Chains A and B, each alone.
Chain A
Amino acid sequence: MSKHEMLGAPRGAEQSELACTINGEEMKLEVAGSKRLLSVLRDDLALTGTKRSCEIGRCGACMVLVDGKPINACLTMAYQCAGKQITTIEGIGADDGGMDPVQRAFLEEGGFQCGYCTPGMIISVKALLERSPDPSEDEMEEALSGNICRCTGYGGIKRAVERAIEWRRKAP
């Protein structure tokens, strides 16, 4: 029987080693297995692009990719990330340091105002387009249904998604 927090550590302790990959970098972190991923990212690793808002899965501001799938970091506990590939908004950009087409589309189409929901939106759109490069309107709506924006009225966001699809289609 393994107590996840303790893989290798003495029983009864609360800390354990979390081995995972964050934005392409292999990491071994000493954290409680039940600590939220959101807190690991923001408080322990200073990856503050992932936003903290409702903390109960309702807003999507804390969205990250876990093995390529969108997941709310505020609902995910550290032990659920063992051996996984985690990508935050800081890890979305192109390898040459430039922006991902989805990021550029949000910028150029005015897909944000205050910007608080934007990292989460971009993560959800990125996941959608990786899975379904030419999504239907229904798929788009479903993919973004867990991301709430209080500013834009979603018009700019929708335009940004459409633009990102177009760019990706034209990309060599």
Chain B
Amino acid sequence: MAMNKQTKPESPIVWQPSDVAEACTLKQQLGEDGVFVAGGTLLRTWWEAGIAHMPSHLIDISGIANMQKPITLVSSSQDRQICQIRAAALLSEVRNDSHIRTHYSLLTTAMKNIAAPSIRNLATLGGNVLSRVGDALPALLVYEAMLLWHDGQGEFEQSLAEWLLEAQVSHAWKNRLLLAIILPPVDQPEQEGHGRLDVYHKVGRREVFTPSITTVAMSAAVGADRHIVEVRIAVGGGQTAPKRLGHTELLLEGGKLDRSLLQSCYSSVLEHFRPVGDVFASASYRQKTAANLIVSELWKAMQPKS
């Protein structure tokens, strides 16, 4: 594989590896001059905004053989199905997948809220995850998604939550290829008399086709007696790396939804969600938006069913 690295081309040279090993070898050889590209929608935004310079080489991952089937179901030990979404799966493919709609509805809603259909026909889930601020992330965090990587030596899994923390302090992941996003089986309402509370909200400055100010994903089971269990809450939005609100989840877990619990929950969100502000929306505005969204959904869930 001979490459002339001296002359910087006016437009990047596009490499199309057909398997994972070739892709990783290319990345190792090209180093920072070579960038993995999936849909290219985010890279284009960065290049045009001057956030990143256009590299000399693009390594297109869409032709890699085992990236072809976007979504596969694998049976786990207890005969439950693990859902593997290939990193190169288009957002539109994820949006329209019936298994995801049935079992991971927050992800379907997240997809509908990302950009517009034409962009979702190009953009991938892997690219969205690796942006570190993508709107898919809060939903994926709630489902405790795992990432399947290849680092040139071999494959390994890492929890999404752990990678988000790692990415804050290290750029090592930029040399790896993301192969898939793995969704563990969802435990559906198994407790007698419990209903599901599954919500995903993205608040922006316009109703649709807008960057997020605050994004909230929440999943829980609420009993007829208003006890809440299996609580998972993730928040993000703007340039804030999404995260689970572990303290708030603990506070709610097993509790009975009432005015006092909701008040504590509101304070807990304000305390533990530390968003990044910008000229459009301050950090405190984003915090309050998250707290309001979460508490209003809990309030709705504690109303008697008509």
Report how far A63 CA is from B119 CA in the complex, Å: 10
Considering residues A69, A77, A80, A147, which has the most beta carbons from chain B within 10 angstroms of its beta carbon?
Answer: A77
Q: Is the CB of A34 within 8 A of B45?
A: no
4 tightest Cβ-Cβ pairs between the two chains A and B: A146-B116, A33-B14, A70-B118, A32-B11
Given A71-B121, A75-B119, A79-B60: 8 more A-B contacts, CB < 8 Å: A33-B14, A56-B45, A57-B44, A75-B122, A76-B122, A77-B40, A79-B16, A145-B208
A70 near B40 (CB under 8 angstroms)?
A: no
Interface of chain B residues 70 through 127 with chain A (CB within 8 A): 92, 112, 115-119, 121-122
Stretch from B1-9, B150-158, B255-263 contacting the other chain: B1-9
List the interface of chain A (C-beta within 8 A of B): 1-5, 11-12, 14, 32-35, 55-57, 60, 63, 66, 69-72, 74-77, 79-80, 124, 141-143, 145-147
Distance in angstroms from A40 CB to nearest chain B CB is: 12
Cβ–Cβ contact B44 & A56, under 8 A: yes
- Say whether A63 contacts B118, CB under 8 Å: yes
Residue from A3, A14, A60 within 8 A of B118 (CB atoms):
A60
Binding site for A on B (CB under 8 A): 1-4, 7, 9-18, 22, 26, 39-41, 44-45, 48-49, 58, 60, 62, 92, 112, 115-119, 121-122, 208-209
- Cα distance A162–B214 when bound, in Å? 34
A-B residue pairs in contact (CB < 8 Å), sample of 22? A1-B22, A2-B16, A4-B16, A11-B2, A11-B3, A12-B4, A32-B9, A33-B14, A34-B11, A34-B14, A35-B11, A57-B119, A69-B92, A70-B117, A71-B121, A71-B122, A72-B118, A72-B119, A74-B44, A80-B40, A145-B117, A147-B116
Residues of chain B contacted by A33 (CB below 8 angstroms) = 11-14, 58
Interfacial chain A residues near B122, Cβ < 8 Å: 71-72, 75-76, 80
Task: Note all chain B residues with C-beta closer than 8 A to A11.
Answer: 2-3
Known contacts A56-B45, A72-B122, A3 near B15 by CB under 8 Å: yes
Give which listed residue, A2, A56, A60, A74, contacts B116 with CB less than 8 A. Answer: A60
Q: Enumerate chain A residues within 8 angstroms of B2, measured Cβ to Cβ.
A: 11-12
Once the chains are docked, how many angstroms separate the CA of A141 from the CA of B115? Answer: 13
Interface centre among B10, B26, B117 (most CB of A within 10 A): B117
Inter-subunit contact A5/B40 (CB<8 Å): no
CB contacts (< 8 Å) of A2 on chain B: these are 16, 18
- How far in angstroms is the closest Cβ of chain A from B134? 15
- Residue among A5, A55, A74, A76 making CB contact with B13, cutoff 8 Å: A5
Chain B residues near A145 (CB, 8 Å)? Answer: 116-117, 208-209
| A146 proximity list for chain B (CB < 8 A) | 115-119, 209
Quick check: A141 and B208 within 8 Å, CB to CB?
yes
Contact partner of B121 among A34, A56, A69, CB < 8 A?
A: A69
Task: From A3, A32, A75, give the contact of B40 (CB < 8 A).
Answer: A75
A130→B221 CA distance, assembly (Å) = 40
Contacting residues, chain B, for A3 (C-beta < 8 A)? 13-16
- Given known contacts A1-B26, A14-B9, A75-B41, A142 and B15 CB-to-CB distance under 8 angstroms: no
**Contacts of A66 on B, CB cut-off 8 Å?**
121
